[in-house]
């Protein structure tokens, strides 16, 4: 297992954490979209499907439909699901704008014991964006068992291509926290921690990234005004309101 330097405090996601994450998303520059005007944003949704992820996988399968609904008025969102599990297994589905297709993919996957393979996720994102630019990578995982320097090199390459990685960390493992923060920094993305009781937090943050991928920072501001509730409170908080 790779070891990170320094200590990261173990804590649940607070409103301040969520606010900081949303502000980072809001300030992240959107890469120039290719293709026709109004084309759907492209989001690579990658997950750790090793055994420890089973409860959170089921939760994310339910939540992901919100990502499509949040972006419908912005021209929609095209998502590709990718995951790793077991002994070196990595799979990526087709790009789709149909939430039922994505839900079918997610519910057909069963988690299998194995080690993390986040570098492969990053390398896949690089290959995909070489073929056609993707607007953001979302990764959801709970641990890190790789060489941080090698993973950092690949993350840096992805960052140079203008693809931010938004790293969602379930639990409080300090090694994973250190690595996920490094990946987020190297790609000009963002990091946020959540736990098994943070379904609403995960829902709001995934929705925010989806809106960002589809419409950019201004669309995220509009989301805060329209949705109200916690998203609006957070938007006011990060703006000093």
pLDDT at 88 over 80: yes
3-state secondary structure of 194: strand
Asked if residue 172 belongs to a domain, the reply is no
Q: Return the pLDDT at 12.
A: 46
Q: What is the CATH number of the domain that holds 86?
A: 3.40.50.410
Asked if residue 30 belongs to a domain, the reply is no
Asked if residue 233 belongs to a domain, the reply is no
Q: Return the pLDDT at 58.
A: 67
Asked if residue 240 belongs to a domain, the reply is no
Q: Provide the domain count of the chain.
A: 1
Contacts of 206 (CB under 8 A, 6+ apart): 60, 63, 64, 66, 67, 138, 168
What is the domain range of residue 109?
A: 40-164+186-215
Rounded to whole angstroms, how far apart are CA atoms 95 and 39?
Answer: 14
Asked if residue 191 belongs to a domain, the reply is yes
Q: Return the pLDDT at 215.
A: 76
pLDDT class of 75 with cuts at 50, 70, 90: low
Asked if residue 208 belongs to a domain, the reply is yes
Q: What is the percentage of the chain residues whose pLDDT exceeds 90?
A: 31
Q: Return the pLDDT at 161.
A: 95
Query: Span 73-79, mean pLDDT?
Result: 69
Residues in the chain, overall count = 241
Asked if residue 130 belongs to a domain, the reply is yes
pLDDT, tens digit (0-9, with 9 covering 90-100), for 126-177: 999 999 999 989 998 999 999 999 999 999 999 999 998 989 888 889 999 9
Q: Return the pLDDT at 100.
A: 76
């Amino acid at each position: 297992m790779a070891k990170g330097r320094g200590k990261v405090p173990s804590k649940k996601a607070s409103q301040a954490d969520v606010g900081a994450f949303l502000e980072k998303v809001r300030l992240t520059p959107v890469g120039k979209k290719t293709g026709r005007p109004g084309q759907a944003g492209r989001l690579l949704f990658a997950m750790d499907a090793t055994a420890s992820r089973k409860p959170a996988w089921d939760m994310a399968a339910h939540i992901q439909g919100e990502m499509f609904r949040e972006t419908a008025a912005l021209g929609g969102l095209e998502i590709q699901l990718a995951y790793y599990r077991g002994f070196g297994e990595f799979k990526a589905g087709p790009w789709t704008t149909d939430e039922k297709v994505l839900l079918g993919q997610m519910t057909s996957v069963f988690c299998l014991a194995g080690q993390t393979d986040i570098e492969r996720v990053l390398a896949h994102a690089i290959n995909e964006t070489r073929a056609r630019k993707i607007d953001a990578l979302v990764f959801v995982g709970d641990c890190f068992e790789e060489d941080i320097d090698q993973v950092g090199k690949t993350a840096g390459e992805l960052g140079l291509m203008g693809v931010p990685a938004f790293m969602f960390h379930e639990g409080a493992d300090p090694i994973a926290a250190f690595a996920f923060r490094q990946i987020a920094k190297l790609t000009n993305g963002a990091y946020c921690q959540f736990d098994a009781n943070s379904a609403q937090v995960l829902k709001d943050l995934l929705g925010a990234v989806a809106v960002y991928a589809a419409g950019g920072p201004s669309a995220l501001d509009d989301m805060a005004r329209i949705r109200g509730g916690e998203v609006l409170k957070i938007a006011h908080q990060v703006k000093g309101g």
